[in-house]
Structure formats: C-alpha cells, structure tokens
Structure 1
Amino acid sequence: MAAVPPVCDFDWPAPDFTLPATDGQTYRLADLAGPKGTLVMFICNHCPYVLAVIDRIIRDAKELQAMGIGVAAICSNDATSHPADSFENMGKMATAKGVPFPYLHDEDQSVARAYDAVCTPDFFGFNADGRLQYRGRLDASRGQAGPEDLRRDLFEAMKQVAETGRGPAEQVPSMGCSIKWK
C-alpha cells in the first residue's frame, strides 16, 4: 500500500545526523549543506516508486548541486526484512547508477524517525538556514515513470529555494512505499 507524507511544515529545523555513506565516508548534515540549501531524500533500493524515477532524481540532483543545493539520500529501511536495502546493496546501486550524492545508511532508523519520514521517496528541501521549505513530490510519476514532459515539482521548488530562500506555498505530497520499520 502506498504511503503519503504530511504537507510541508514551513521553517521546521533540519535535524542533525551523522551517518555512514556508500562512498566509505561518514557525513554530518553540515557536511552536506549547500550554500543555497540542502535536499535530504529518503529512498531505498527495492521500492518501485523510487526505481521508476531514480534517473530523474539523479538528473535533478546534478542540476540542483550546480545551483548550490547540497544533496544526500538516506536509506532507513530494515535490511533484515528487505535485503535489497542492505548497506552492501546500497553501494552496488550507487555505483551502478553513478549516484552523484552521498547515499547514507540509517541502520538504526533514528534519522528517519527524527525527520518523521513516511515513504520512499520522501523529499525534504531546506533553505540555506536549514529550515524546511519543501516536502513534496518529484513530479506526477507514481509507481511508474510518467511522461518526460511532466512538471519537475521538486526541481522547480528547490530552484525557488535557491533563489529566494522560500519554497512554494502549494505543494503536492510525495507518494511511495512505506518506510520498512524494524
């Protein structure tokens, strides 16, 4: 069953974290922050909603990074019940897809709980002050990728955050597989 996160709680402060990444490094939120904002995404390896749009996520991440937005993805799923989401398999996917951002492992699920993450994908777009400005969808794709000409909701919102420090007033929530809790 699909899960849908709540609407954006504007100006909610980004919770700090320290997590290992598939590139062998450990990152804190401050290490990932960009001069114009930060995008934290909860994704995983097995979710059909993520797999349908992972190439679009990568495309948008690259373009947002060029605008000064820091980007990171976090997998918080229980790898015991969903072995495809193990740290080892995260690394394989990051390499195979050429993921241009740190892919972090939240093994104890504390970061997902701190963010109140609901589904994969779940997007949290913060401004340069670390205040939430976007909690919406990537685009109108659902369990499969929609047409290439869909409005790029996440990209447009984070571009606005980079330019003005504020996200759009109207946001459509993301939808995806529920976080697989332990």
Structure 2
Amino acid sequence: MAIRLNGKRVLILGAETEIGRAVTTAVAEVGASVAAVAAASDAEAAFAVQRLARGLSAERKVIAQAIDATNEAAVRVMVRQVSKELGGLDAVVLVTTEAARQREFSMDLARQYGGRELSRSGGGKLVIVWSMPATKPGEPVSGPAFKMELRPPDVRPDEWTRGQNWTATFLQYAETMLSRAAADVVAAIAGEPDSG
C-alpha cells in the first residue's frame, strides 16, 4: 500500500535546494499541505519556492516563503505564521547543505521553534536532512552507504525529544540521491520504516 499524508501539515525549510524541491514535491504529491520555505532570503531562492508552490498548489494548500534561516527572529516568526496558516503542524523538515557550524545552528532553531509548534499541534515529526556533494555525478558519498542516519556527535535524538510529544530523525544523502531522500522523508513523516 502506498504511503499517503492526507491531512498532514508539513513545513519544509530549505525547499529552494535541489533536494528540498524533491522532498517538497514528494510530500505534496502524497496529499500533505506544505509550506515551502527558502532558507535564504535572496531573490533567486524566493522565486524558486514561489515557482515550486505554483506547480504544486492545484490540488492542495501550498505556502511559499523565503527567510534568512540564520536569523533566529525570522525563523521563530515564520514557523508560527506557517503553523497558524496551516492550522498546526504535523512535521517540520529541515533540508540543509550549509557548512557544519551553520547547519548546527539551523538544526537548533528548527528543533526549538519547530518543536514548539509540533507540541502545540499535539506532536509530530522533526526530520533533519543533510545534503552533501557526491564525489562524481551519480556516485554515493560514502561508497555503497549513500544514505546514513548521521548527526553531530553531541546531538542525540532521545535528548532532543525527552519530555516532548514529537520525534526526531536525522538523514544524510548525496545530492544525487533525490528520489531516495524524498521517499525516506515521506516514510519518516508517516512513521513508516525507511524505504531501503
């Protein structure tokens, strides 16, 4: 049976990236209402999520925004506004290709503010997706283990979610593994075992 996310409300931060577009498209195509949010506030990123939202909005609610994801106030306000507009959140997905230091800061903001909205909505999923360049086009990052559940050594999902009514999943992919990343994010939101 195919996974469906009908009625789910999902915020995707980093939707302007190639892997973010694939994840946003997959989540919307299985029935979720989505907020496609660019993690950069430049015109190119803003136009990318607007085009994506227009292409997906015929059959479901799709919101497009662009923010500076390193600005704590911008993240806090955006997450709250999106949650209000969608009527709550069932999942928050952070897709990042940033340098490690910025990535950890963005992860913390996603956990802090996304987790708060997930709690207000009765629980849900926080999914962190890291994208990194493949060594050659089509080649996995680390040999055959192209999808790994990784996180910084000082971040433990059980510590992040202790006392919370939401769960966290950390995934890392080569930039070339778009469909695999998208399928695994959909499965994580649905609470299904991973696709591979």
| TM-score, normalised with respect to structure 1 | 0.42
| TM-score, normalised with respect to structure 2 | 0.40
Higher relative contact order (CA 8 A, sep 6+): 1
Query: Which structure's CA Rg is the greater one?
Result: 2
